[in-house]
């Protein structure tokens, strides 16, 4: 399933991923703490939209609903990365990676960790393994 979020939906999903199951009021308060000021009804509407899309579900707690992410952050990230790769970099993973490693916010430690991951991937492929990343998780 392809996972796609609007900017506001992603704000809400980030709260659910970070805080875990939350009521609409708790989501609204968390968003306000990050400078995103939305009305309670707006948050509730967005949570219902996310639920209709299958990205969120809920359990009733008295009169309130406690919403939880039904999509893992990693799955959403992979989908977002694919869209970014296609739209911004014309499908070139090399161009995306070059842009990423040239970001000033990456420390030397980050770059060394990236180098290690790239070397591990090269070793994996030299050994004749699949280029499908999910195969690595199974093996």
Q: Please determine, for residue 40, whether its predicted confidence score (pLDDT) is greater than 60.
A: yes
Using CA atoms of 7, 13, 19, 23 in order, give the dihedral in degrees to the nearest 10. Answer: 100
How far is it, in rounded angstroms, from Cα 97 to Cα 139? 25
In the chain, the largest separation of any two C-alpha atoms, in whole Å, equals 57
Neighbours of 75 (CB within 10 A): 14
Residue 24's pLDDT band (boundaries 50, 70, 90)?
very high
Count Cα atoms within 13 angstroms, Cβ side, for 50: 28
Q: What is the pLDDT of residues 108-135, one digit of tens each?
A: 999 999 999 999 999 989 998 877 766 6
> What pLDDT does residue 138 have?
47
Selected from 3.50.50.60, 3.40.190.290, 1.10.3720.10, 1.10.10.10, the CATH number assigned to the domain covering 7-69 reads 1.10.10.10
Going by C-alpha positions, the residue among 137, 135, 14, 134 that lies closest to residue 72 is 14
Global pTM exceeds 0.95? no
Helix ranges (DSSP H) in 22-102: 24-33, 40-52, 73-89, 93-101
What mean pLDDT do residues 75-99 have? 90
- The average confidence (pLDDT) of the chain is 91
């Amino acid at each position: 399933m392809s996972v796609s979020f609007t900017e506001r939906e992603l704000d809400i999903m980030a709260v659910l991923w970070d805080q875990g199951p939350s009521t609409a009021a708790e989501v609204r308060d968390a968003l306000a703490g990050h400078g995103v000021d939305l009305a309670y009804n707006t948050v509730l509407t967005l949570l219902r939209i996310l639920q209709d899309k299958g990205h969120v579900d809920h359990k009733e707690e008295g009169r309130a609903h406690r919403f939880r992410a039904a999509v893992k952050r990693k799955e959403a990230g992979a989908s977002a990365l694919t869209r970014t790769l296609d739209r911004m970099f014309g499908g070139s993973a090399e161009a995306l990676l070059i842009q990423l490693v040239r970001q000033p916010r990456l420390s030397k430690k980050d770059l060394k960790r990236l180098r290690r991951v790239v070397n591990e991937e090269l070793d994996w492929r030299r050994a004749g393994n699949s280029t499908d990343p999910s195969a690595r998780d199974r093996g």
